[in-house]
């Protein structure tokens, strides 16, 4: 019995590691996708009241290159803490990799509720991070997509990513909500690239 119990505990631990980001302790990309699947199976009402925020830290590479990777890791953990303080317990915060995070918001009464959370995040990054002896000013570019706009998990993440890219193009440290014309612009750009 103890052998079986030990084996089961080892399997649980391996499973936990597979869906967890080792640096921040947050769900990783795989963990996020599993969470997204629960929304899909919960039905249209849950999807209608949910949104995904794609967050990319502005100027993180500069901090990482200037202060070193250890400082970059410390910054990522501190950023995760600030993001966690901006959402409710029912929401899901994940680290996708590098300096990219995603938040799944639940129980939205109206679409603009996601914008309120995104604005809260922007304000949470106004103050610099204290990294050792240095102050690091890092902002956040955020893209929002609603689950009613995407057909599957890959789709919803891609749409939020497109919106985040729009925020980067708009000067960083701001929020963009996905719109159909974003996909049209990307498609047009891809066609031009293929012609070159």
The rounded distance, in Å, linking the Cα atoms of 167 and 55 is 10
Candidates 21, 58, 91, 99; catalytic one: 99
H-state helical runs in the chain:
2-18, 29-42, 44-48, 60-67, 69-84, 112-124, 153-169, 180-195
Contact 173, 55 (CB under 8 A): no
Two structure tokens written together for 12: 């649980």
CA atoms within 13 A on the CB side of 1: 0
Reply yes or no on whether 99 is catalytic: yes
Q: Among all residues, which ones are annotated catalytic? A: 99
């Amino acid at each position: 019995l103890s052998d079986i119990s030990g084996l089961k505990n080892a399997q649980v631990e391996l499973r936990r590691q597979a869906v967890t980001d080792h640096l921040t302790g947050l769900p990783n990309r795989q963990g996020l996708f599993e969470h997204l699947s629960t929304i899909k199976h919960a039905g249209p009402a849950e999807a209608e009241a949910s949104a995904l925020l794609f967050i990319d830290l502005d100027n993180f590479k500069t901090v990482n290159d200037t202060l070193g990777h250890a400082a970059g890791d410390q910054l990522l953990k501190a950023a995760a803490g600030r993001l966690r303080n901006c959402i409710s317990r029912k929401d899901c915060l994940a680290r996708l990799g590098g300096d990219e995070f995603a938040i799944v918001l639940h129980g939205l009464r109206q679409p603009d509720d996601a914008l309120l959370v995104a604005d809260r995040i922007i304000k949470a990054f106004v103050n610099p991070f204290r990294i050792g002896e240095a102050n690091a000013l890092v902002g956040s570019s955020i893209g929002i997509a609603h689950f009613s706009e995407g057909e599957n998990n890959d789709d919803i993440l891609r749409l939020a990513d497109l919106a985040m890219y729009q925020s980067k193009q708009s000067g960083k440290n701001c929020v963009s909500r996905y719109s159909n014309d974003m996909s049209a612009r990307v498609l047009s750009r891809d066609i031009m690239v293929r012609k070159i």
